[in-house]
Structures are given as structure tokens and as C-alpha cells.
Amino acid sequence: MNNKKSRIEVKFDKKIATKEDRRGKVSRLKARKASRLSKVDRILQEGNTGMRVGEPLAVYDSISTKNSATRLQLFYRSNGYFDALVHHEEDTRKKRVNVTYKVAEGKPYFIDSVLFVTKDDSIMHLFQETSRESRINKGDIFTQENLSNERERITALLRNKGYFDFSRQYILFQVDSSFGNHTLWVRTEILVPENRNAHKVFTLDSVNFVMDAQVNIPAGQRTQSPFEGITYLYFEKPYSRKIPNRRIFIRKGELYSHENTLNTQRQLLNMNNFKFININYDTTGGKFVANIFATLLDEFQISNEVGINYSDAQGFPGPFYNLSLLRRNAFRTLENFETSFRIGLEGVASATSNEIYRSIEAGGTLAFTFPQFILPIGRNNRLKLGRFNPKTRLQTGYTYNDRPEYRRSNFNLSNTYTWENKRNAQYRMTIGDLSIINSELDSAFEAYLIQLQQRGNNLINTFDPSIVGSIIFSPTFNINQYGSYTRNSTWLRLWIENGGLIMYEINKRYLETFGLEGYKFVKASLDYRKHRPRENNSSISFRFSTGFAYPYSNNKILPYEKYFFAGGSNSVRGWRPRRLGPGSYTPYDSTDGKITYRFEQQGEVLIESSLEFRQKIAGILAGALFLDAGNIWTIRDDPNRPGSQFKINKFYKEIALAGGAGIRFDFSFLVIRFDLGYKLYDPARPVGRRFFLDPNFNSPPFDRSLNREIEPWILNIGIGFPF
């Protein structure tokens, strides 16, 4: 390898020498040389690709072993086991060493007394008021972590109560364990600055907001405009003062607060109009002045996006193109206007066959996003709501879908309010979501729907011209940034929807006059996900989702998009998209009596769960083992699909089960996924033949040699992780 490295250096040095008069060419050659050499260096240090698969070679180091024992002992002692002793034993066999660490914990030390001392009477008063929040409490086992947490608590408390120049260095802890009986006392002392008996409390004398800090204007040439206790400065007024004023939580005459400073910065940046928000405090001249400098983003932003589109309800990925225009501060009140156009192709599983067809989706949207609630509420309420990043989005859009079975157009209007509570919770409330839908059916698909209608199933009505109006509430909770590679994370979304309640009653007469289908329904769903990283570049992820929809209009049906479906690469991966269920229904073909999975299956009840083990193999390559379970059901008896109704005494026997393995190519910006799923438990088969180890699991009519549609293995191709 060293010889190869030398050859690479000589080769590129010769090329560079002949191109000295061309700087661009020389730069590219140097970059290529560095890249080639770094690859050789990696092979020298870590081995070739095959050698890098799995865990690196562990070489025994006696010094590291002793250090580990010392660190273990420090860990126990920092958690209250002051008498803990750790020693290690080495067992050498041939060229392998087994190390055993033995720990004698001893008894833990408990906190018997807690003292708080300071010469500053104001701080003493604050501490007494918040003593119940202390992290150091009598009767607890002593830990260094609690001391650290208490230091952080006291620092945050004081810096939010006006103590601008207070720092954690002023907090001193003393621990005395000489009393015996494994007890100790903790003394907390707040030191005071030199030559002073107390820490200074800072009150804001004024607040200045520079509205156009990105413009280079000589000092004194900006206009000063006081508004509700804040002085706004600008050269040419770029936007209304009212909107940022509701997201500024530092005010003249109030005590300094570090928390309010951070909230002000965060909520101003959440408006998507500012590139930077810098806040500093000036203490010169005996005054305490807050200066906020706002730097605007570019007014216009055009973006083009080309990529791979994938919908878990469809089938195979396909290309898409998205063009969008964003205009910030369109009406000078920091609202954003956005227009976009999208067109995409996908390979979708036909609703009437097992083949894959091309699907076209195109559409466009026009939307205004306002950094406030467009509601008749008073000034004080608007100021209070500013802490929650309130937004109102008014949107209109048109979507066109061309699938093998139907062509469907959807004109949509919506009014949505969003707000946040802390950083891990977001709430979405759609007061009005109105869709006008029109469909054209393929003759074969229409004939199938007519057959269902003749048997009492009104699914064909979901493709009639219709108006769908909904009210939606959906909170989302994201704890520790779900999917993080370094820590446990959780994601939870609830969805509650009431469809047609207002629109149906108001327009009932017009629906009948113009022959439009109307719907009334309620729908609720829950999606819970948990990601737990493990050692050795592996992780375990879990998902549980459930949903319920109940139509109560005269037609007793839902809009087609509101049904639940199961199967596919983001669902139970042993079944093709939308082909699982409902319940224990066995899908026979009426023409030849064979089992058929040609038709999509919809339901009003959904239960799904997945467990997946993920392991990085080498480079961008990763593997996964998974187990999926779930099904859909109808809430009413469907004569066309016997066994489809949800019944509390048997639904658990109809949970389908699929297992398998997959490989993933993780390019950081894109994950391409191949999952091979196998049917382990199929509720569509007769009782006693549903489990894959049952002797007659693959007997007729589920014999694959007699029916190509009986697929025990399903290859799923997806973009991104399944959950």
C-alpha cells in the first residue's frame, strides 16, 4: 500500500507540473490527489472494505483496563456509594483475554441535612419561595448529578429574575460525611461579588428594535418610532410594528429574564422572515438597554426540486418536479405568499389487478401564511398568544390524479391555525377544509363497483361528484427529535376529524339539486413511534397506529380518501399496497372461484404495529429485520365481504402477521429501501391453516402453483425509513 501511495503521488505531481498555467485544472487535480490518498490511508489504518465489515479488532490494553476500573469506582462514588471498591481479574487463554470487573458497592450515603447560606437577602428570599423545586432533598441518596442539576436550577432561577451578570461560579457546594451512619449534609452557598454584599438586579430602562439591521446606515440617520414601550428604528419602514411587537417579551420597566430573551429570539425567527435576530444588552452610562437587531431574509425565493416520490398507499417510486415561489412580507405585515406547481409519476398497484401501472399526479397551490391568528381577539390575547408561534394559513389548491382505474380532480380550500407549546408539541386546527371532487371511472372498475352496489355495497357513490367539508384537530408531539441516532426519541400524532357536519346541513338542498354526493362522518387516528439507539451502530424502532371512522350520512359511506388501507412498504409488508383485509375476508374471484388480490380493500377500523431492528453494515449499507402486524375492518356487516366486520370477541384472531429482512442505502439526504416481507399469519385463510407452519398453509386454493396471485413473499421498494 505504501508503494501504491507513492505511485499516486508521482502520477498526480507529473500531471500538476504540466498544468501549472491553468489554475482551475491544478485545483481539480490536487483535489483528486487528496481524495485518492485519503482512501489509501484509510485502507492502511482500517483495512479494506471486507475488513471493515462488523466490529473493529479489539486489542487488549492493560492500562485501559485499569482506567476502566478507576472510572467505574468514580461512577459509584459519584452516585452515593462512597465506600465502593472495584478490582478486575484477567483470564488469558491463548491469544484472548477475558476481563471481569468485580464491584463491592457498600452502603449508599443518604442526605440528612440541607443548608442554604448567602449574604444576599433577596436571593435568600427567592430560594425560600422555590425550595420545593430543589434537586437536593433530605432523605435522598446523594449523587453528583443532583448537585449539578441544582446548580443549573439556581442559575436559571436568578438569571430569569433580573440577575443579568450572575453565573454558576458563584454557587459553592460543601458535602460533609463525617457524621457516620452513612449520612451526610449538603451546604449550598451563594457567594457575592467582591466589595459588595449583594448581586445587582437589572431592570430594563429601554428596549430598541432595529427593523432593518441588514441595511448599512450611518448612526443617527434611522427614524425612531416608539410603540407600546419599544423604540423601533428604521431607515425606510419595512413592515408593521404590530406583528413583531407581539413576539417581543422583554419590556421597559421589567426585570431582565434570560428565558424571555431566548423566547423573543426564537419566536421572531419562527416567522420565516428574519435571517438573524441578535439581542444584546448595554450597561454603559448606568443604563440597562436591550437592543434587538433584525436582519431580513430575501423578499423573493424561487426553488426547484427534482426527486423521487413515494406514497405508502400506492406502490413504486417515481420522479417528480416541484416549482415554488415564496414572497415574504407581501403586504408589509410579515405574512408570506407562496405558490407552487407539482407534477409526478409513480408506479402504482392497480385496484383491479396485481400489475403495476403508471400514475400521474399534478397540482398547484396558492397560500398565505400570517404570523398571527386571523380571529377577532383583543390585543392582550394576541400578546399572550405570541409565545406559541401562532400562524394562520389560507390555502387553495387543485390536484389531478390519473390512475388506471379512475381520473380524479380535487379543488380544495382550507383555513388552518397552527401553534406550538414548548419545542416538542405542535397543534393544528383546520376550521374549514372544503374539497370539490369529480371522478371519471375506467369501464372495468366501474363494472366492478356496480356489482358491489347490486350486492348492497355503495362504494361506487364515493366516486360521484361530491363536496367534502371537514373540521380537523391534530396535535403532534416530537420528543428528542424522533429518529435521532444518539438518543431515545418518541413521536406521537393524534388526528380528530369531523366531516360534513356544517357543510352537509347548510347545502343539503343544493346537494340534491345538483346531484352531488354529501358526507357526514367522524374520524380519529393515533400514530405512535419510538426509536431507541443501541450500541454497535444498531437501533430498535417501534410503531403502533390505530384509527376509527364512522359515516353517519344517509349513504353510510366515506369519501374514498378517508378510508383506512393496509399492506405495502410502510404497513404490513407481507401484502401488496392496500390488499390486506378486511378482517378474515377471503377475496374470491366470482368468475373463476380463485383467490384474488386484484382489488383494493378499504375499511373503517385500523390496527397496525411494527417492530424493526436496524444495523449499519458498512459505509452507506445497512440491514434490518422486521415484524409487522395489523389489519383493517368494517364497522358494519358487508354481505360482499363476509368476515370483514370488527367484532370485539374475535378481532385479535384476525391480526395479520408478516416478517422479513431488508437492506437500505443511506445517503444521509436520501434512504433507498428494499424490504422482503413474508406472510407468517394470514387471517384470510381457514382456521387451522392461517399460521405459516400449519401443514396445510399453502394447500389449495392458496397453492401458488395454481394461482400466481398467491404470493408468500413480497418485495417492497421504498424511499425513506418505513417509520
Angle in degrees, CA 127, 128, 133, rounded to 5 = 70
Cα dihedral 27, 33, 34, 37, rounded to 10, equals: 180
Closest CA to 175 of 104, 106, 78, 107: 78
Cell 415561489 belongs to 325
Phi, psi (rounded to 5 degrees) for 205: -85, -30
At 152-166, the pLDDT tens digits run 999 999 999 999 999
pLDDT of residue 312: 44
Digit-coded pLDDT (tens) for 592-628: 667 888 778 899 999 999 999 999 888 789 999 999 9
Q: How far, in Å, are 321, 429, 477 from residue 423 at the CA level?
A: 32, 18, 9
CB neighbours (10 Å) of residue 286?
Answer: 6
281, three cell numbers? 444588552
548, pLDDT greater than 60: yes
208-296 classified as CATH 3.10.20.310: yes
Q: Measure Cα distances from 692 to 268, 680, 683, 697 in Å.
A: 58, 5, 11, 6
Give me 399's grid cell: 390536484
Mean pLDDT over all residues of the chain? 86
Place of cell 392458496: 702
- Condensed to tens digits (0 to 9), the pLDDT of residues 636-682 reads 988 888 999 999 999 999 999 999 999 999 887 778 889 999 999 99
For the domain made up of 110-190, the CATH class stated in words is alpha beta
Q: In what order do the strands lie in the sheet with 274-282?
A: 223-227, 230-234, 206-210, 289-296, 274-282
Reported residue count of the chain is 723
Residue type, 198: A
Asked if residue 609 lies in contact with residue 657, where contact means CB atoms within 8 angstroms, the answer is no
How does pLDDT run across 309-338, given as a tens digit for each residue? 655 444 566 778 889 999 999 888 999 999
Relative to beta strand 356-370, strand 391-402 is: antiparallel
| pTM of the predicted structure, to 2 decimals | 0.79
pLDDT tens-place string over residues 490-521: 999 999 999 876 655 556 666 666 667 778 89
Residue by residue, DSSP assigns 208-270 as EEETTTTS---TT-SEEEEETTEEEEESS--S-SHHHHTT----TTSBP-HHHHHHHHHHHHT
DSSP 587: -
Which amino acid is residue 147, in one-letter code?
Answer: L
Please answer whether residues 455 and 639 qualify as being in contact, where contact means their C-beta atoms are separated by less than 8 angstroms.
yes
Torsion of CA 124, 126, 128, 131, to 10 degrees: -120
